[in-house]
Amino acid sequence: MSLDHVPAPNVYDAEPIPAAARAEIDRLLLSGDLFRYTAPADAPVALLEREFADLMGTKYALAVSSCSAALFLSLEALGLPKGAKVLIPAFTFAAVPSSIVHAGMQPVLCEVGENYRIDIDDFLVKLPGVDAVMISHMRGHTSDMDAIMKACDAVGVPVIEDAAHSLGTIWNGRKIGTIGKVGCFSFQSYKLVNAGEGGILITDDADVVARAVIMSGAYEHNWKKHKGPNGQNDPELAEAFARWQNKLPLYNLRMQNLSAAVIRPQLPEVARRVRDGRSNHDYVAELLNGSAWLNVPDALDPEDRAPDSIQFNLVGFETDAQARAFADAAAARGVKVQVFGLSEDNARAFWNWQFIPGRLPDLPRTRAMLMRACDVRLPARLQKQDLDFIASALIDAAEEIKGARAA
């Protein structure tokens, strides 16, 4: 197969925003109505919240400025004391421990295995003494949520799901983000739905959402514009708002109407993006797994993935220099590979989270994984020739370093 004439695919460009967004943005620009709480009802942000809650099958949604803001507000909304310990996987994005530090709490890291999922044995060792758990479905990889929920429910520890990069993933028939007490999603440009920036949290808990709504910046009686399921008045929610009136700080992490106008017409595209992203991923995974030097770990059985990138491990690369040479050889073929633990100051390498109070723990299993785990973007819009190009470049780069066949 000769791909010499095909240019390297651009994996950074986004899909165009659906045309319907333009008319709505024009309308908003003409009226100047950009603040979510100006209109008496049905502001674009409020409509987005209702549509997203319906899409996910939850009672409540709160749209905010980022997923990081959603994670921070979730922790604050649980009413945990300052200094509370929050257990997270050691393989995630720096925004996750950052949200915990921002809330005045202490991240506790647990090991992640070669398959990018939480090491349940280490999770169970670290769980006692923890006040909350934040499960980051990093790069859309789902850890064993049955084991995690069973252990957390048994000791009454609340679970927040960081589903920033996991919209559309299904675990045992349940939508990711609806399994824990709160689920948080991102609309930053590299996620499935692109608004540049933005985030949303979902929950069925009226008290949690009321607290989060107020702290997100629903000052005075703006919370009256937040309704229950189907846009109906919700007595439980109204009671919760009354209970927390004037009792909570206002952090002003609101979403504005222009962001909602960009997001809403993308929601009907989610199912297609998930389907295409999954088939693209699985196609490339099969090609890579045909090489003795590359391994794409299997998803756990109960998981249906929604990937927009691919992660794989280098097999038999004894030295960091060999792993670096692989990344260089792939780059020379037009495909950018990030080896999580080898790229300088990587925000997904836990040893770079030096802002965490206290001594950074060592997590040898996670560290070993990060030193050989590779990351390549694979957006849903790529075509078969792009996928072939990427897979060939990766396989050829591995063979350039390690030889044509395994010893």
Strands of 174-175's sheet, edge to edge?
A: 174-175, 170-171, 303-304
- Residue 96 sits in the site that holds ligand PLP (CB under 6 A): yes
Binder of ligand PLP out of 46, 112, 138, 398 (CB under 6 A): 138
Q: What count of other Cβ atoms lies within 10 Å of the Cβ of residue 271? A: 12
Q: Minimum CB separation from ligand PLP for residue 345, in Å?
A: 17
- Residue 36: how many CB atoms within 10 A of its CB? 24
Our finding on whether 346 is near ligand PLP (CB under 6 A) is: no
If one counts every other C-beta atom within 10 angstroms of the C-beta of residue 374, the result is 23
Q: How far is the CB of 138 from ligand PLP (least distance, A)?
A: 5
Instruction: Establish if 216 lies at the interface with ligand PLP (CB under 6 A).
Output: no
Of 62-70, 210-218, 239-247, 294-302, the window that binds ligand PLP (rule: CB under 6 A) is 62-70
Decide: is 372 part of the binding site for ligand PLP (CB under 6 A): no
183 binds ligand PLP (CB under 6 A): no
165 binds ligand PLP (CB under 6 A): yes
**Residue 92 binding ligand PLP, by CB under 6 A:** yes
Q: Which stretch binds ligand PLP (CB under 6 A): 34-42, 53-61, 63-71, 244-252?
A: 63-71
Residue 342 touches ligand PLP, criterion: CB under 6 A: no
Residue 384 burial by CB count (10 A; 0-12/13-18/19+): exposed, middle or buried? exposed
- Tell me the closest approach of the beta carbon of residue 186 to ligand PLP, in angstroms: 3
Shortest approach of ligand PLP to residue 311 CB, angstroms? 12
The C-alpha angle 111, 117, 121, rounded to 5 degrees, equals 50
Whichever of 183 and 228 has its CB closer to ligand PLP, that residue is 183
Does 164 help bind ligand PLP (rule: CB under 6 A)? Answer: yes
Residues near 296 by beta carbon (within 8 Å), at least 6 away in sequence: 285, 288, 289, 310, 311, 312, 313
Q: Which phi and psi (to 5°) does residue 46 adopt?
A: -65, -40
Tokens of 346: 């990587």
According to the binding rule CB under 6 A, does residue 95 interact with ligand PLP?
Answer: yes
Residue closer to ligand PLP (CB basis): 255 or 342: 255
DSSP output for 368-388: HHHHHEEEEE--TT--HHHHH
Question: Hey, what's the torsion of the CAs at 299, 300, 306, 311, to 10 degrees?
Answer: -30
Q: Which of 48, 62, 63, 67 forms a contact with ligand PLP (CB under 6 A)?
A: 67
**Packed helices 95-102 and 67-77: angle between N→C axes, nearest 10 degrees:** 40
Nearer to ligand PLP, 11 or 39 (CB): 11
Which amino acid does the sequence have at 73? L
Q: Is-contact 145 115, C-beta < 8 A?
A: no
Under the criterion CB under 6 A, does residue 313 sit at the interface with ligand PLP? no
Q: Pick between residue 291 and residue 366 the one whose CB is nearest to ligand PLP.
A: 366
Question: Nearer Cβ to ligand PLP, position 66 or 115?
Answer: 66
Q: What's the token pair of residue 378?
A: 């694979």
State the nearest-atom distance from the C-beta of 198 to ligand PLP, in Å.
7
Give the shortest CB-356-to-ligand PLP separation in angstroms: 16
Q: If binding is defined by CB under 6 A, does position 373 make contact with ligand PLP?
A: no
Q: Which is closer to ligand PLP, CB of 199 or CB of 297?
A: 199
Q: Which x/- pattern over 232-261 shows residues binding ligand PLP (rule: CB under 6 A)?
A: ------------------------------
Count of positions on this chain that bind ligand PLP (CB under 6 A): 15
Three-state DSSP class for residue 56: helix
- Cβ(242)–Cβ(209) below 8 Å: no
Interacting stretch for ligand PLP, rule CB under 6 A, among 40-48, 61-69, 106-114, 314-322? 61-69
Which residues, including other chains, have CB under 8 Å from residue 232's CB and lie 6 or more apart? none
Q: How does DSSP assign 238-283, residue by residue?
A: HHHHHHHTTTS-----BPPHHHHHHHGGGGGGHHHHHHHHHHHHHH
202: helix, strand or coil: strand
Residue from the set 97, 107, 168, 199 that interacts with ligand PLP by CB under 6 A: 199
Judged by CB under 6 A, the residue of 21, 45, 68, 167 near ligand PLP is: 68
- The answer to whether residue 76 forms part of the interface with ligand PLP (CB under 6 A) is no
Interface positions with ligand PLP (CB under 6 A):
66-68, 92-93, 95-96, 136, 138, 162, 164-165, 186, 188, 199
